[in-house]
Amino acid sequence: MSSNAAPDFQKILLDAWADHNDPAHDLGHIRRVVNNARLIAAAEGGDLNILIPAAWLHDIVSLPKDHPERKSGSRMAADLAIAKLTDYPPQYLDPIHHAILAHSFSAGVAPQTIEAKILQDADRLDALGAIGLARMFSVGGQLGRPLFDPNDPLAERRAPDDTQYSLDHIQVKLVKIAETLQTKTARDIAASRVEFLLRFAWQVSVEAKV
């Protein structure tokens, strides 16, 4: 597809986001996912005519973590994205829809194409490392969760529960997310980010004893 004919995906997103206010799923997150997707695709392949619009629009609908329809959020996003891409070449629309649908952890949809696998990885990488940590605490703050259990920060004497403590999210979800990455490129990037998260959690446990 000619770059001169490409829609302004950022404008499409921001127009749909008129009342959007979520620091963990803001324009910065979207841009990082787009950049991650390009980086992974450079090594793994994939059609950028599918991948880039899917990356820009994957959170065009972004429901809060505690929303009762959270599991349907990626389907809503996929449907709205396709509805907005009215002038986009039709042969790309179904693959874009699938990539957006499959990107979400909560949707539980397995990615069937390389573009869907890359988008899923690109999004999940942004949940890891220093920025992922900042996003984790942002979400925890929105939900009113304590930072950590002061008596047992690392959940050594209890079951980790990220509905109670933000720090527990590292054990409950983030380390597991790293294990689900689809591409070697993403797994290589994730390794140091996971190590950082674990070091951070350990440091919290040290400082909590002071």
Residues 107 and 132 in one domain: no
pLDDT at 210: 65
Q: Same domain, yes or no, for 66 and 147?
A: no
51: domain CATH number? 1.10.472
| Range from 23-27, 81-85, 130-134, 164-168 carrying the lowest mean pLDDT | 23-27
Q: Nearest Cα to 63, choosing from 51, 83, 80?
A: 80
Last residue of a domain, one of 58, 80, 113: 113
Same domain, 70 and 154: no
Q: For residues 82 and 20, state if they share a domain.
A: yes
| Whether residue 102 has pLDDT greater than 70 | yes
Specify whether 157 is located in the same domain as 82.
no
Q: Identify whether 18 is part of a domain.
A: yes
Q: Domain range holding 97? A: 1-113
Number of domains making up the chain: 2
HSE of 28 in the Cβ direction (CA atoms, 13 Å)? 10
Whether residues 131 and 109 share a domain: the answer is no
3-state secondary structure of 29: helix
On the 0-12 / 13-18 / 19+ scale of CB atoms within 10 A, 54 is buried
**16 and 108, same structural domain?**
yes
Q: What is the dihedral of CA 111, 115, 118, 122, to 10 degrees?
A: -110
My answer on whether 91 and 23 are in the same domain is yes
User: Residue 20: what pLDDT?
Assistant: 81
- One domain for residues 109 and 15: yes
134 and 178 within one domain: yes
Tens-digit pLDDT profile for residues 116-152: 999 999 999 999 999 999 999 999 999 999 999 999 9
Q: Assign residue 193 the CATH number of its domain.
A: 1.10.3210.50
pLDDT of residue 72: 78
pTM, rounded to two decimals = 0.91
In tens, the pLDDT along 5-18 reads 678 999 999 999 98
Same domain, 9 and 97: yes
